[in-house]
């Protein structure tokens, strides 16, 4: 049978339930359209108490957190920037005695998304690093991968705000050519600004990394929970330390031009585990409510 499906935009979802689960579970999805870079929210609702929902989609595990009401669990799903268009299956199961019970199966239709190409000139060492730097680059990449694939379950998730006021560049997913050589797609968005402008935490979380990295310069990584991470790069100064808890809107550093840059700006990457997603799609999904939310918002102005 078709599950109850909640659509905030044009997301195609067909969910089916095994006979034993027909009267117990419904699935809703919001955050479409499902395209490369999208962030979707899946909610599983049961007609009676159940526990420990899980599953898979895009070959990645689904990790749920309790919703705001009983018998409701929610999770976030990212569509990677390189995900091809097509039908993607998923399944959800729950704890049942000593084993697992299949709660729902279904598919998500991923639509295509076109990205531009950008050509940039940067310092030569950021395109062809010296042999002495290669070990550092490899070690930093492995360290970030280990961070992004660590999943914690928060007490609450969101809402999110932009870490810097103003209009961000529409460069997520842009195919990057540095000094004539093709590199990986741009996996974040850039905000232009003056050096010294304060940068805010996009949402509550724990600082996992706060130091200088080869490509991203002075960098802060925040764990928001459910495998959702913010990486804020090219800062001129870091004002937080690893292990520190931060709240949405709290200053984490100042805008700068460190690492591989062509000028002062903030680069904001969002990762959902191994998946590279568009920060602006995340903001559209998890924006603060119009009333009843904290008033601390995105940073603006220069540091004093």
Find the CATH number of the domain harbouring 202: 2.70.70.10
* Residue 50 and residue 69 in one domain: yes
Q: What is the pLDDT of residue 127?
A: 57
Total-model pTM = 0.85
pLDDT digits (tens, 9 = 90+) for 121-168: 555 555 567 787 889 999 999 999 999 999 999 988 989 999 999 888
Residue 185: the pLDDT is 78
Q: Which of 154-168, 273-287, 289-303 has the lowest mean pLDDT?
A: 289-303
SS3 category, 124: helix
How confident is the model at residue 181, as a pLDDT?
Answer: 58
Q: pLDDT-derived band of residue 21, with 50, 70 and 90 as boundaries?
A: low
Q: What's the pLDDT score for residue 167?
A: 82
Assess if residue 270 is contained within a domain: yes
Question: For all residues of the chain together, what is the average pLDDT?
Answer: 85
294 in any annotated domain: no
Is 296 a domain residue?
A: no
| All residues at 6 or more sequence positions from 58 whose CB lies less than 8 Å from its CB, including other chains | 77, 78, 79, 80, 83, 88, 275
Q: Is the same domain home to 143 and 250?
A: yes
Q: Do 145 and 251 belong together in one domain?
A: yes
Whole-number Å distance between alpha carbons of 7 and 132 = 51
Could you give the number of structural domains in the chain? Answer: 2
pLDDT at 49: 87
Question: pLDDT confidence of 296, banded at 50, 70, 90?
Answer: very low
Q: Return the pLDDT at 129.
A: 75
Taking CB atoms within 8 Å and a gap of at least 24, the contacts of 48-51 are 48/24, 50/24, 50/25, 50/94, 50/95, 50/103, 51/94, 51/95
CB 255 within 8 A of CB 199: yes
**53 with 155, same domain?**
no
241 shares a domain with 182: yes
Half-sphere exposure of 94 (CA within 13 A, CB side): 23
Same domain, 85 and 135: no
* 202-248 pLDDT tens trace: 999 999 999 999 999 999 999 999 999 999 999 999 999 999 999 99
- The CATH number that applies at residue 38 is 2.60.40
24 and 122 in a single domain? The answer is no
């Amino acid at each position: 049978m078709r599950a109850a499906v909640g659509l905030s935009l044009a997301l195609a979802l067909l969910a089916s339930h095994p006979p034993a689960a027909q009267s117990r579970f419904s699935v809703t999805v919001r955050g479409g359209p499902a395209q490369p870079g999208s962030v979707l929210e899946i909610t599983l609702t049961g007609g009676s108490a159940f526990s420990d929902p899980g599953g898979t989609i895009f070959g990645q595990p689904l990790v749920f957190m309790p919703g705001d009401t009983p018998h409701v669990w929610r999770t976030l799903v990212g569509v990677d920037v390189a995900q091809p268009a097509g039908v993607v299956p998923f399944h959800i199961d729950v704890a049942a005695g000593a084993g697992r019970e299949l709660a729902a199966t279904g598919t998500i239709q991923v639509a295509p998304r076109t990205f531009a190409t950008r050509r940039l000139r940067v310092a030569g060492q950021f395109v062809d690093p010296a042999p002495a730097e290669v070990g550092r680059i490899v070690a930093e990449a492995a360290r970030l991968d280990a961070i992004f694939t660590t999943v914690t379950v928060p007490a609450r998730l969101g809402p999110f705000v932009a870490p810097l006021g103003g209009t961000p560049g529409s460069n997520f997913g842009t195919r990057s050519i540095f000094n004539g050589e093709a590199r990986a797609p741009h996996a974040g968005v850039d905000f232009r600004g003056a050096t010294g402008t304060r940068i805010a935490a996009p949402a509550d979380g724990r600082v996992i990394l706060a130091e200088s990295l080869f490509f991203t310069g002075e960098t802060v990584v925040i764990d928001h929970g459910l495998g959702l991470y913010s990486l804020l790069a090219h800062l001129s100064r870091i004002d937080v330390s690893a292990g520190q808890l931060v709240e949405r809107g709290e200053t984490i550093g100042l805008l700068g031009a460190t690492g591989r840059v062509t000028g002062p700006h903030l680069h904001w990457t969002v990762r959902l585990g191994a998946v590279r997603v568009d920060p602006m799609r995340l903001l559209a999904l998890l924006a603060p409510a119009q009333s009843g939310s904290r008033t601390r918002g995105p940073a603006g102005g220069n540091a004093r």
